[in-house]
Structure 1
Amino acid sequence: MSTLPIVCLALGDFYGLGDQYVGRMYDMLARHCDRPFRLVCYTDRPRKLPAGVESVDCSGWRELDRPGMRATTRKLGLFNPAYVPFAEFLYLDLTLVIRGSMQPLLDVAFGSEKDLVIVDDWHHEGYNSSVMRIRPEPLRFIYDAFVAGESYAQKVAGDQDFIRAVVEKHSAQQRVELFPPGLVVSYKNAVRTGRRNPVTARAMVDGAVIVKFHGRPRMHEVFDPFHHFWRIRLRDLVHGRLRSPVPTAELKREWLGTDAS
């Protein structure tokens, strides 16, 4: 079985926890990815990473810096085959928890004939780029469009709305497939759903391969007992729920390691 290339991106200080987030990503993959894999971390600074993680300097991707755009715009470099020399690869944000076997997600990602497999955004019509299977050579037009100065009206000034706009401009929708709903779920959405329908919220998380923590809070905040009580559990208690409808403790164990308390 061939080795599966998996790519992540660690930019900036990242709450002072960037190295830790990469290490925990590697550990989750080691537990839940049945295929041999190599994790390549593209980073803009030296980091102390596990021995099994390959580090690649992306500090020179300055052509992707643009005033008013978020740091995540550097994800567009993943569509440049000169930067990421794999025919196809899986990209994962660091701000997520892998909670079960990766195989259902990998079956979709690498079983598709499309050049890009990406998440359907939870909040508005568009893409969420937290999980992507990318073939950079046929998708280089996305990177080239940004470098050429193309810009579009965006709800969020970053990579994912730009990707959607360029795909539409080039009439390339036929090159894109969306992951089936439920494989990658939003933690925030699960919490909000749980306030109305706890059974549905629990089912959302139980059926997911990946739970994405987007915006704030991040995992180190949610999994901190003090923060979790005052920012999340207190709302449940106000509404008369003694137990959280979202299995945060289980997600914490996955992020910290199965033997963690």
Structure 2
Amino acid sequence: MSTLPIVCLALGDFYGLGDQYVSRMYEMLGRHCDRPFQLYCYTDRARRLPAAVETRDCAGWSELDRPGMRTTTRKLGLFNPAYLPFEEFLYLDLTLVIRSAMRPLLEFATGSDKDLVIVDDWHHEGYNSSVMRIRPQPLRFVYDAFVAGERYPQKVLGDQEFLHAVIARRGAQARVDLFPAGQVISYKQAVRTGRRDPGLARRMVDEAVIVKFHGEPRMHEAFDPFHHFWRIRLRDWAHGRWRSPVPTRELKREWLGGPGRQA
């Protein structure tokens, strides 16, 4: 079986925890990816990472900087085959927890004949780019369009809405596959769902391969006992839920790679 390239981006200070987030990503992959893989960390600064993680410099991707755009806009560099010399690769955000065996997700991603496999966004029409299987050569038009100065109406000035818009403008939707619903879920959505339907929230997490932490809180916040109490548990109690249906303790254990304390 060939080695699967897996790519992550570690840009900027990243809460002062970038090295830790990359290292924990590598450890989660070691537990849950049952095929040979190589993790490539594209970063704009020197980092102290496990020796098995291959570091590549993306500090020179400055053509992707545009006033007002979020740092995540640099994800559009993933669609430049000169930067990513792989026929295809799996991209993973650092702000997620891999909670179970990746086989069903990888089988779908690598088995699809589409150039892009991506998450259907949980909140509005469009894509969520936290998990992607990318074939950069046929998708180079995404990168080229941004560098050429193309602009689209965006509520959030980052990579996701631009990616969705440029694919729609070129009528390239048939080149995109969506991961099956439930394989990649939103932690925030699971918490909110738990306040009206605890059983559904628990099933969402149990059936997910990956739980994405978007916006606030990030993992180091959600898994901090003080933050978890004041920002999550008090709201649960206000809704009459004395036991959270979202197993934050289990997710914390996956992220830490050990027993972990109860959140």
TM tier relative to shorter chain: over 0.9
Q: Which residue of 1 aligns with 2:39?
A: 39
Q: Where does residue 16 of structure 1 map in the other structure?
A: 16
Task: For residues 9-54 of structure 1, give each alpha carbon's deviation from its aligned partner in whole angstroms, at most 9, with x where no partner exists.
Answer: 0000010000000000000000000001000000000000111111
Task: Name the aligned partner's letter for residue 167 of structure 1.
Answer: I
CA deviation string 1:140-195 (max 9, x = no partner)? 00000000000000121000100111101111011000111100000000000000
- The letter of the residue matching 2:50 is P
Structure 2 distance, partners of 1:31, 1:181, is 23
Amino acid at match of 2:35: R
Matches within 5 A, 1:72-221: 72-221=72-221
Residue segments in structure 1 that go unaligned for 5+ positions in a row: none
- Please give the secondary structure, in 2, of the residue aligned with 1:196: coil
Query: What secondary structure does 1:190 align onto?
Result: helix
| Counterpart secondary structure, 1:200 | helix
Q: How far has the Cα of 1:260 moved from its partner? A: 3.8
Would you identify which runs of 4 or more consecutive aligned residues in structure 1 move more than 2 Å? 258-261
TM-score, scaled to structure 1: 0.99
TM-score, normalised relative to structure 2: 0.98
**Which residue of structure 1 lines up, in the alignment, with residue 4 of structure 2?**
4
For residue 97 of structure 1, what is the amino acid of its counterpart? V
Q: Distance in 2 between matches of 1:191 and 1:97?
A: 15
For residues 236 and 260 of structure 1, the distance between their equivalents in structure 2, rounded to whole angstroms, comes to 22
Counting aligned pairs with the same residue, the percent is 79
Moved more, 6-15 or 229-238: 229-238
How far apart, in 2, do the equivalents of 1:67 and 1:91 lie?
Answer: 25
CA distance in 1, matches of 2:34, 2:113: 22
Q: Deviations along 1:41-81, whole A, 9 cap, x unmatched?
A: 00000000111111000000000000010000000000000
Q: For residues 239 and 56 of structure 2, what CA distance do their matches in structure 1 show?
A: 48
User: Deviation digits for residues 97-145 of structure 1, max 9, x if unmatched?
Assistant: 0000000100110000000000000110000000000000000000000
CA distance in 2, matches of 1:112, 1:32: 21
Give the aligned length.
Answer: 261
RMSD of aligned residue pairs (Cα, Å) = 0.7
Aligned position for 2:58: 58
Q: Structure 2: where are the runs of 5+ without partners?
A: none
| 1:171 counterpart SS class | coil
Matched AA of 2:96: L
1:6 offset after TM fit, Å?
0.1
Q: How many Å apart are 1:240 and its aligned residue?
A: 2.1
Preserved CA contact (<8 Å) 2:249 2:260: no
Q: Secondary structure at the match of 2:77?
A: helix
AA paired with 2:86?
F
> After superposition, what is the alpha-carbon deviation per residue over 1:226-247, rounded to whole angstroms, capped at 9, x for unaligned?
0000100011122222211100
